[in-house]
């Protein structure tokens, strides 16, 4: 009998089990990584609590997790030495299409670690070992802790939003939503030279987590209104229609809103008239292209990102971790420490 490993497996809503699975073999062109940390993303929370992430329902047992860090366990090609610290670009890209040749993250028929969008599902990294293609590996500087490196994927999402906006240097930036993505995007905007950064939320507890990030102002929108036309760039990270309407009012004429927060497939109540009259640019933002490389550089240089991680919980207590990650009053980024 071959060697086995422990994995966290979601079978359906509210059903997560620790299971023994065979340690995967390593085919040519691939690498096996010993996983150390896995951040819990919003999609992971939806898979566990609802059995689906938007339109993508769990149809077979799914190992979640794409915010990962670990060390090389086996590389048949010899490219990576055993023990090399790494993180991942979690995507495998599909087929290039007209107009998006330079945007592989938008190519159809791609896959993403820990996703039920494909059949069979693409298994994720909340497991002792994970086998991925060579091109998904990103080596880490020795000075970057594996715990902080687990933020590379969500930070890359924030950096992608900044890139879509055309950069934030010298700009007045508003970030809507002080969840982990919003906090990381706001911190990145500070580092990338924004003139000012303001962040909003409906929870004081979430806004308090922004204090160590060098943000200029926090606004609880249940008590305080944003100034109209006060911002050059808005990174909307909540996906809540009321927040989007607030962003449309808050952005200046000919300003830019980048929609980072994911929304459901149903029609949304968005007030478009001010966006039309102000000639606002409204841009969708989906995952990221190659910004994970920049994310690694920023994580190495800035320890302020550590404050975004509110909890590190052992994999044996994963159910508690998923419950905690859903509660924005109690948690920022929750990271699972793999066995």
Distance CA(315)–CA(336), nearest Å, equals 6
Q: Where are the domains of the chain?
A: 4-139+302-337, 155-284
Pair 243, 177: CB distance under 8 Å: yes
- What pLDDT, on a 0 to 100 scale, did the predictor assign at position 55? 85
Pair 108, 59: CB distance under 8 Å: no
Was domain 155-284 assigned CATH 2.40.50.100? no
Pair 171, 232: CB distance under 8 Å: yes
- What pLDDT, on a 0 to 100 scale, did the predictor assign at position 183? 98
Pairing of strands 15-22, 4-12: antiparallel
Token pair, residue 176, equals: 């809507």
Nearest to 188 by CA among 292, 276, 266, 274: 292
Token pair, residue 124, equals: 């994720």
CATH of domain 4-139+302-337: 3.90.180.10
Residues 322, 178, 305, 90, Cα dihedral to 10°: 60
Distance CA(306)–CA(151), nearest Å, equals 9
10-residue mean pLDDT profile of the chain (339 residues): values are 90 98 96 98 96 93 98 97 98 97 97 97 98 98 98 98 98 98 98 98 98 97 97 97 97 98 88 96 97 98 97 98 97 98
- What pLDDT, on a 0 to 100 scale, did the predictor assign at position 3? 93
- What pLDDT, on a 0 to 100 scale, did the predictor assign at position 94? 96
Sequence-separated (6 or more) residues with CB below 8 Å from residue 145: none
- What pLDDT, on a 0 to 100 scale, did the predictor assign at position 264? 79
Residues 289, 135, 334, 145, Cα dihedral to 10°: -110
């Amino acid at each position: 009998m071959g060697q086995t490993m422990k994995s966290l497996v979601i079978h359906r809503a509210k059903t997560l089990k620790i299971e023994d699975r065979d340690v995967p073999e390593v085919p040519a062109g691939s690498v096996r990584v010993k996983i150390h940390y896995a951040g819990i993303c919003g999609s992971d929370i939806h898979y566990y609590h609802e059995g689906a992430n938007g339109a993508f329902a769990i149809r077979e047992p799914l190992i979640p997790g794409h915010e990962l860090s670990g060390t090389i366990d086996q590389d048949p090609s010899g490219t990576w030495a055993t023990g090399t610290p790494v993180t991942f670009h979690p995507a495998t890209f599909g087929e290039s299409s007209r107009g998006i040749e330079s945007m592989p993250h938008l190519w159809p028929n791609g896959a993403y670690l820990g996703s039920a969008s494909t059949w069979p599902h693409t298994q994720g990294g909340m497991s002792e070992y994970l086998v991925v293609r060579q091109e998904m590996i990103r080596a880490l500087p020795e000075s970057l802790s594996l715990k902080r490196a687990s933020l590379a994927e969500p930070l890359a999402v924030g950096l992608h939003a900044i890139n879509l906006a055309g950069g934030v240097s010298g700009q007045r930036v508003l970030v809507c939503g002080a969840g982990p993505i919003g906090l990381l995007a706001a911190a990145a905007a500070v580092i990338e030279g924004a003139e000012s950064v303001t962040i909003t939320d409906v929870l004081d507890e979430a806004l308090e987590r922004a204090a160590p990030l060098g943000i200029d102002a926090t606004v609880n929108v249940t008590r305080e209104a944003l100034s109209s036309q006060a911002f050059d760039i808005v990174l909307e990270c909540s996906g809540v229609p009321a927040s989007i309407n607030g962003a449309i009012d808050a952005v200046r004429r000919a300003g830019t809103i980048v929609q980072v927060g994911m929304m459901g497939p149903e029609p949304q109540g968005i007030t478009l008239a001010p966006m039309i009259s102000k000639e606002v640019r409204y841009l969708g933002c989906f995952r990221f292209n190659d910004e994970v490389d920049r994310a690694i550089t920023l994580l190495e240089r800035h320890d302020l990102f550590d404050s975004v991680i509110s909890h590190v919980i052992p994999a044996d207590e994963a159910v508690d971790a998923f419950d905690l990650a859903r509660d924005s009053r109690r948690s920022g980024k929750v990271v699972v420490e793999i066995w």
